[in-house]
Structure 1
Amino acid sequence: MKKSMWFFLFTLVASTMITLSSNNWVSMWMGLELNMMSFIPIILNKNNKSSAEAGMIYFLIQSVSSMMLMFMIMMIMIKYMMPNYIMNTVITISILMKLGAAPFHMWMPEMLSKINWYKSMILMSWQKMAPLMMMSNMNTNNIMINCAILMSVIIGSLGGINQTSLRKLMGYSSINHLGWMLAINKNINMWMLYFMIYSVMIMIVCQTFNKMKIYFINQVGSVNMNSPSKIILFIMMLSMGGLPPFIGFLPKWIVIQEMINSSEVFMMFIMVMFSLVTLMFYIRTMTNMFLLQNSSIKWIQPYKMNMNMFINLLVNMSLPMILIMDIL
């Protein structure tokens, strides 16, 4: 990796820390702008058409949302006589645009399809932290947030059904998980726990797909893998879908419990039902690998189980281990 990339990665982390540690709107806005100007050079690291398109998409979306945010900050600072609910609504829309939450989600899967797995991993995990923290500290309109939650869960589930690109599929999965995180956004400890577990899972999945050089669903069946590696990859995808007893079920379990305590049973029911749809397209992704005959060239060395795969298995099976230890 070039030295300049290390600099931009350092600035990316520092800008997020600036936003998280700020106590006023201007400092948060500065952190978000620095974050955007750090991530764009990382996207443009590869000099090709796809990276240029992805960088332009990211720049336009983030610029428009930052412009809306800064306009409302100026209105607040000059104490302009505008109803508070309008200011809160515009600020919420700008943050939802930065997150890629529905109905402002169209740029996210399209951009993910134009960048590699490592950049996708950063976009789906680290880049969400600062806007989520800003949303957590706001007195937002509950009706609007509830609409964003439901739309993110529904669109994130249905949008991934007919996808053949794994990066677009993971993008719609990220939108779905974002809806779950927004559902408990007022409890900072809970959404941070969800975010940490999701980030670990997404890093494992992106690292695995990058190592195997898989970008489309039809490539999954042609990868020459031994049986233990196939089983571990299948467990990873089930964990991403939130199937018990894997670790991906733990954050959804927390959200379900919190929403029952808050008497939001109807919304929780819709979220759980559409979570089954996401589980369906995760299983469909892995079906080709198990049921179809391997079409790879036989003299290519198979992808064998290594230390990374063992760590992946350990992470995904950590929830039942914790429960067994707790029972004992």
Structure 2
Amino acid sequence: MTCDLNLLFFTITIFSALVVISSNNWISMWMGLEMNLMAFIPYISKSKNHFMSQSSMMYFLTQSMGSLLMLFTILSSNMINNYMNIMLILSMCIKTGTPPFHSWLPEMMSKMNWMKGYTLMTLQKIAPLTIMSKTNHSVLLLMLIIMSVLIGAIGGINQTSMRKLMAYSSINHTGWMISCMYINNMSWMMYFIMYTTILAPIILWLNNNKIYYINQINSSVKNTMEKLIMSMMMLSMGGLPPFIGFYPKWMVIQYMINMQTKWIIIIMVMSSLLTLYFYIKMISSYLLMNNSTNKWMIKSIKSSNYSTLAMTLNMILPLLMYINMY
């Protein structure tokens, strides 16, 4: 019964995001966001855990504030168009956890399991980012880009909780998605799809091994092949070439250079180096240490599916893209 209810709420969550994407007026978009909120809260609160109750209340309060601000903006029909764009963007920043309204996202992630946290970092951002892409305020978008990439990079440096670290990584990638909106409204979807695809095998591995803190990674990696695969996944998430994670960032960099906004590119690339630092910190424990494990503690690897997915994403797809470009 619980599985059926989870599937029902998850289906409504997807459907509400599609409602926002297909809507052509603000009221319909607001209704889609409310459907999304009412379906996602019971989806994350099904676990009998007081932490999930806290995260549900936290999510409800923040999303209600964003929805109230959006509704107030829509109903104030006599607003100046520029002011309306600012208010809509700020309301969507509250909903996505974009700086300066980001503090709820890492705290909420730290109280959720990996699969529901993955939904929060990916699916729950589709509707607000769609609404944000329909607005137009270049100066505010530039400020959000800079704050997102810097706070997402700096906030994850001293984190030991893997869930908070992935939340700050999501904030950093949100900044890159907003930069796609600044240059081309539709290109953010491509970045979002690639980010979601790269993140999936990492979340599956962390969930299967029940890893919640950095010091648990070393004892969870069992052989050299798994070390190699996990290293590729983390470095790809940080956007290191020649892995597939570098491709969407390369696309943004090319667009930004053509638009003569090189100073923003410098900030974004430097922030990516900081995110690479804490990704390398995660994998360095099992790459640089020669750990020993008793034979009776070694479990058979049941992760062949996400291992194959990670190898395909990070080695084969970049080669195909390079061939197609030249």
The residue identity in structure 1 corresponding to 2:203 is: C
Displacement after TM superposition at 1:326 (Å): 3.8
The residue that corresponds to 1:65 in the other structure is 66
Deviations 1:283-318 (A, max 9, x none): 000111122343655412245362321221111213
What residue number does 2:271 align with? 274
Equivalent residues in 2 for 1:208-287, closer than 5 Å: 208-287=205-284
Aligned to 2:305: 307
Q: What letter corresponds to residue 96 of structure 2 in structure 1?
A: L
State the match for 1:192 in structure 2.
Answer: 189
Q: Specify whether residues 53 and 296 from structure 1 end up closer, same or farther in structure 2 by C-alpha distance, changes over 3 A only.
A: farther
> Which residue of structure 2 aligns with residue 15 of structure 1?
16
Partner letter of residue 306 of structure 1?
S
Amino acid paired to 1:182: I
Distance 1:253 1:319 in 2: 15
Q: Is the 8 A contact 1:224 1:301 kept in 2?
A: no
The residue aligned with 1:105 is 102
- Secondary structure in structure 2 of the residue aligned to 1:221: helix
1:54 corresponds to which residue? 55
CA gap of 1:7–1:327, structure 2 versus 1, over 3 A, is: closer
Q: 1:65-94 CA distances to partner (integer Å, 9 max, x unpaired)?
A: 100100111112xxx3x3333222111110
Identify which of 87, 90, 98 aligns with 1:90: 87
- Between the aligned partners of 1:168 and 1:224, the Cα distance in structure 2 is 21
> 2:201 touches 2:307 (CA, 8 Å); kept in 1?
no
Could you say if the C-alpha distance between residues 146 and 306 of structure 1 is closer, same or farther in structure 2, counting changes exceeding 3 Å? same
Q: How does 1:119-198 map to 2 (within 5 A)?
A: 119-139=116-136, 141-186=137-182, 187-198=184-195
TM (norm. structure 1) is 0.94
Aligned length: 323
Q: Deviations over 1:118-141 (max 9, x none)?
A: 0011011111111111111112x2
Match of 2:291 in 1: 294
Deviations 1:161-192 (A, max 9, x none): 00000110000000000000000115233111
Structure 1 residues 259, 324: CA separation in 2 closer, same or farther (over 3 Å shift)? closer
Instruction: Verify the 8 A CA contact 2:221 2:227 in the aligned structure 1.
Output: no
Counterpart residue type for residue 152 of structure 2: G
Counterpart of 1:3 in structure 2 is 4
CA offsets, 1:242-301, max 9 Å, x none? 000000000000000010111111001110011000001000001111223436554122
Structure 1 pair 224–235 and aligned structure 2 pair: CA distance change class (3 A): closer
Give distance in 2, aligned partners of 1:324 and 1:181: 22
In structure 2, the gaps of 5 or more residues are none
* Identity among equivalent pairs (%): 45
Structure 2 Cα separation of the partners of residues 143 and 189 of structure 1: 19
RMSD: 1.6
Amino acid at match of 2:272: S
Q: Which amino acid aligns with 2:143?
A: C
On the 8 A contact 2:88/2:132 being kept in 1, the answer is no
Q: Label 1:287 to 1:26 Cα distance change in 2 as closer, same or farther (>3 A).
A: same
Evaluate the alpha carbon distance shift between residue 301 and residue 65 of structure 1 in structure 2; reply closer, same or farther with a 3 A threshold: same
Q: Does 1:316 align with 2:314?
A: yes
Q: Determine whether 1:30 maps to 2:27.
A: no
| TM-score normalised by length of structure 2 | 0.95
2: CA distance, partners of 1:297 / 1:111: 37
How far apart, CA to CA, are the structure 1 residues paired with 2:221 and 2:299? 5
